[in-house]
Structure 1
């Protein structure tokens, strides 16, 4: 299940870089779906105060991507493969500038699809859908292992556009502030997953997710 997640291994964060946790989490909408075909999907949607071209470039330009997410290497074209430093790799399936990016992520059956839509002048909606077979997720409750990681990525992307990205954005999650963000994120993903899996499955996944993302608060 680790390939289904976005892993934050962080260190320290400066006090002056504090975030409004409630506001940042409220910026995104979360959904968990499980279809009869045997797949589980997490969908996270957020609107950014940036033009569509700018958001596209932040997602696809290696120098910009490393600033708010992770360094990337590989054959970065359709049909080519990529590797995120210390994280997952995969194949680039579709790249339709500036609207659609689809890649495998950590395995051939783990698929991430990103769609962009201009919603106004210098405003863009980003929808990310991460889909895996239910066998890989364990159950729809497995969405709790990946959802908080994508929340963290959406947070740092927003900080990138707002000009508030800390010098070391990958230091955020190990601080108490970062872990509090992740703890509340897990709670929101519990709400999103409720009804797709048993209460026992969701409770077990929530405990595991808190241990991963907020070990000092769980």
Structure 2
């Protein structure tokens, strides 16, 4: 794994809102610029053989209107595809449907900005309890996996290595820092600072198993 503090600082996190047919939804955006050309980053994000090396095992038909399934996690339908610039898909998990969109933008000749937008209807009680970190920490871990994969020799991180790291002291520190940064993004979006801090602490406790302060 790459340096956790460096990775936390390399990521930008932002929150917003959007009105959909079913009502107002929360919009979470996370982004990072990688030392990889556009075509290579696109392939890393869409090739079924490469995705498990930094994210999760995936199955299905990875094409427009195809269905995908991440092992033990979300599945959905690929709704838009514009290679190598990005794609959009539903994110179906736990009986709920939200939406993700990935956008890739070249930065110079050999760097690419990765931006993921996750749009979801979230009830106020759940938002008050955990805030954006409930989903945001997971995406932070995904971007960490992608950064580690691109910085290595292409072999990626095995599930066993990832699991061991997640329960290590560095892994717990990474989750804590991610929760705190999402709490800061929540405050910037208008949430009361004390409420955002409490939600961040509960999110950290959820991911690490440690009781909140």
TM-score range, shorter chain: 0.7 to 0.9
Which secondary structure does the structure 2 equivalent of 1:90 belong to?
A: strand
Cα distance change on mapping 1:136 and 1:88 into 2, 3 Å: farther
Name the residue aligned to 2:135. 146
**How many pairs are equivalent?**
201
Aligned match of 1:114:
102
**192 and 160 in structure 1: CA distance in 2 versus 1, 3 angstrom threshold:** same
Distance 1:200 1:27, change over 3 A: closer
Q: Secondary structure at the match of 2:36?
A: coil
Could you tell me whether the CA contact under 8 Å between 1:139 and 1:197 is conserved in 2?
no
Secondary structure at the aligned position of 1:102 is classed as strand
Distance 2:202 2:101 in 1: 26
SS in 2 for 1:105: strand
The two structures have a TM-score, normalised by structure 1, of 0.83
Answer yes or no: is 1:212 the counterpart of 2:206: yes
Which 10-residue stretch deviates more, 103-112 or 134-143? 134-143
TM-score by length of 2: 0.85
Cα distance, 1:136 vs structure 2 = 8.1
Which secondary structure state, in structure 1, belongs to the residue aligned with residue 131 of structure 2? helix
Which of 87, 90, 94 in structure 2 is aligned with 1:101?
87
Kept after mapping to 2: 8 A contact 1:34/1:196: no
Residue in structure 1 matching 2:57, options 71, 90, 95: 71
Provide the aligned C-alpha RMSD in A.
2.3
Worse overlay, 35-44 or 50-59: 35-44
Name the CA distance, whole Å, in 2 between partners of 1:66 and 1:217: 31
Q: Secondary structure at the match of 2:63?
A: coil
Partner of 1:4: none
Deviation at 1:200, TM superposition (A): 5.9
Alignment of 1:10-49 (within 5 A): 19-35=2-18, 38-49=24-35
Deviation string for 1:71-109 (max 9, x for gaps)?
Answer: 111122211211100111111101110001101112574
User: In the alignment, what sits opposite 2:122?
Assistant: 134
Residue 52, structure 1, aligned to residue 38, structure 2: yes
Do the aligned partners of residues 59 and 97 (structure 1) sit closer, same or farther apart at CA in structure 2, a change above 3 Å counting?
A: same
Deviation at 1:199, TM superposition (A): 4.5
Is the CA contact 2:76–2:90 (under 8 Å) kept in the aligned structure 1?
yes
Unaligned runs of 5+ in 1: 1-16
1:170 aligns with 2:162: yes
Q: Secondary structure at the match of 2:92?
A: coil
Per the alignment, do residues 93 and 136 of structure 1 end up closer, same or farther by CA in structure 2, a change over 3 Å counting? farther
Aligned-partner SS, 1:179? helix
Post-superposition offset of 1:197: 3.1
